[in-house]
Chain A
Amino acid sequence: MLELQGLTRRFGAATAVDAVDLRVPEGQMLGIIGRSGAGKSTLLRMINRLTEPSAGRILHHGRDVTALRGAALRGWRTGCAMIFQQFNLVPRLDVLTNVLLGRLNHLPAWRSLSGAWPEADRAMALSALEQLDIAGLAGQRAGSLSGGQQQRVAIARALVQEPAIILADEPVASLDPRNAMLVMDALADINRRYGIPVLVNIHSLDLARSHCERLVGLAAGRLVFDGPPEALTEEAARRLYGLEAAEAAAAPPQRVPVAA
C-alpha cells in the first residue's frame, strides 16, 4: 500500500501539488488525469523522490520514504521504477545495456562502473526484452529506435529493477495511437501478471478509461476526482479540464477531450 499524506510541492510562489492525500492499494492500475500543468508529473516525481516534497509524507507499507537519503534512497528509487514521456534512455548505448541500467543498484560499485554485467543480469534483461517483443533489438543503439520501441525498452528497464511500484509519467504522450495502445497494454499486462501497482499519468481519457481500474483527477495541484472510470462523466471531465472539455464537447464525438 502506497499512501500520500498532504503531499505538497511549491516552486517559488506557485504550488504545483497542493496537499494531496491518496491511498493506492496493492495491485491497482491507477490513472492520474488532468490538464497540463495540473501537477501530475510533479506528483509522480515526488514519489520517486526526483523532486523533493515541500510538505507532506509518502508512506510505503507504513514506512516513511520522504526523508530517505543515500543508499536507502537509491534502494527506494529502484523499488519504484519510473517511466518517462521522453523515454530517458541513453541514446548512444545499445538496448541491452540500457535495460541493464535497471540493475545498477543491485551490483557492487566497482562492478557496475566497469560495465562487467553478471550473466544472470544479462539473461534477465533479455527475457524482459523478450516479454515486450523487442529481444531482436538488443544489440541496436537505443537512439536509433522508434518512439514506441524506445518506450518498451524503458519498460523493460523498469521490469529488471524488480519494482514494487511502477510510475509512468505520460508514457504514451509522444507516441502514435497504435504504439500508445501497445505501451498501455504492456503496462496493464505487467500490472495484472505481477500484481505491481502502476500509477500512470495520462492525457488520453480513452486510454485512461480502457486501461485503468481507478482514476484520480488533478486540477491546479488539488485532487478533485477519485473514482472508477464509469464515474468520470461528461460533467466531471468538464470540471477537470475546464474550458477544454467544453470545446471538446462541441467538436465531433470521436475527439476525446485532451489537455493540450
Chain B
Amino acid sequence: MSEVRPATLAAGLPRVGEYFGKILPTLRWPVLFAGSETEGSLAAWFYRLDSWAWLLFETANMAALATLMGAGAALLLAFPAARNLGAGMLARQLARRGLEAMRTVPEIVFALILVWAFGVGPLAGILAIALHTAGTLGKLFAEAIENAGTGAWDGVRAAGGSWAQACRFAVLPQVAPNLLSYALLRFEINLRAASVIGFVGGGGIGEELYTVIAQNYYEEISAIVLLILLCVAAIDLLSERLRHRLIGAPR
C-alpha cells in the first residue's frame, strides 16, 4: 500500500489520458471511406481486418469450446459436490476440493503451465479456460442443485431409482434452465478471458494484441480493442436474451 503515493498518482493520471490519445487513430473526414492505401481512412485504420476477424473468430471458438468442456466437467462434479444429495463423504470432499483448486488458480496461470506442456497455441488456452470454468461453474451448479426441492428426489429414490438415476431425473430437469443460464454467462466472461490468454501464448486475438502493444503500433491497439469490444457486446446481447428466455420459461 505504501507504493500508492498521491504524487505518483497525480503525475501518472494525465499519462493515462495521453496513452489513449496516442492510440486514437488520425481519421480525416474527406477520405474516411477511401481505400486502405490512403492515410486517415477507416480502411487504413483496420487495414488488417481480415486476419483480425479470423483471430476473433478463433477466440470466440476457443471461448465456446472451453465453456462447453468446463460446463461438462462442472456438471459431473456438481452432483457429488452438492450437500443435499447424500453423496459419500469421500466423493463430496474430493469434488469440492477439486472444484476449489480449479477455481482458485486464474486462467492465465493455468495457461502458463499448459503452454509449457503443450506449446504455444489455442489448445493450451482452451484447456486453461476450461479448467477455471469447471471450478467456477461447478460451485454455481452445486448451489443450484442444493436449492432444488427434495420432493422429486425422494420420489425417485422411493421408487427404487439409483443415485445416478435420481440425479438424472429428479434433479437435472429441475435445474437445467438455471445451469444453462450460468453456462451462457460464463461464455461471455470466457470470451474476455480468451482475448487476453494469448498474451502468454494461449492462442486467439490476444497474441496479436500483445504484439501490437509491445511494439507500440498505437492505432492497431485501438482497432483491435474496438473489435473485441464489439464482439463481446454482440455476444453479451445475444446470450442475455437467451438467458432471460430460459429463466422466464414457465415452470
Contacts and interface: CB of A to CB of B under 8 A. Distances in A.
Interface of A: 48, 50, 74-79, 81-82, 84, 86-93, 97, 101-102, 104-105, 109, 112-113, 115, 143-144, 154, 157-158, 161
A104 B170 contact: no
Contacts of A144: 250
Interface of B: 151-152, 154-162, 164-165, 168-170, 173-174, 176, 250-251
Nearest to A103: B159
Given A88-B152, A105-B159, A113 B251 contact: no
Contacts of B174: 90-92
Contact of B158 (A48, A90, A97): A48
Contacts of B154: 50, 82, 84, 88
A93 B159 CA distance: 16
Contacts of A90: 152, 155-156, 169-170, 173-174
B162 A109 contact: yes
B251 A91 contact: yes
B160 A88 contact: no
B151 A74 contact: no
B212 to A, nearest CB: 49
Nearest to B150: A88
Contact of B169 (A79, A88, A93, A161): A93
Contacts of A78: 159-160
B197 to A, nearest CB: 35
B3 to A, nearest CB: 54
A102 to B, nearest CB: 5
Interface of A is mostly: helix
A132 B92 CA distance: 41
A165 to B, nearest CB: 12
Contacts of A113: 164-165, 168
**5 closest pairs, A vs B, by CB?**
A78-B160, A88-B155, A105-B160, A82-B158, A88-B151
Given A50-B154, A92-B173, A154-B155, A105 B164 contact: no
A171 B161 CA distance: 21
12 contacts: A74-B162, A77-B158, A77-B159, A88-B152, A88-B155, A89-B155, A90-B155, A104-B161, A104-B165, A113-B168, A115-B168, A143-B251
A168 to B, nearest CB: 12
A75 B160 contact: yes
B164 A104 contact: no
Given A90-B169, A90-B170, A113-B165, A104 B155 contact: no
Nearest to B165: A104
Nearest to B177: A92
Given A92-B174, A93-B169, A82 B159 contact: yes
Given A101-B156, A104-B169, 8 more contacts: A74-B160, A90-B170, A90-B174, A92-B173, A93-B173, A97-B169, A104-B159, A113-B165
Contacts of B170: 90
Nearest to A74: B160
Contacts of A109: 162, 164-165
A89 B251 CA distance: 13
B160 A89 contact: no
Contacts of A77: 157-160
B178 to A, nearest CB: 11
A205 B165 CA distance: 38
A175 to B, nearest CB: 16
A101 B151 contact: no
B151 A105 contact: no
Nearest to A143: B251
Contacts of A115: 168
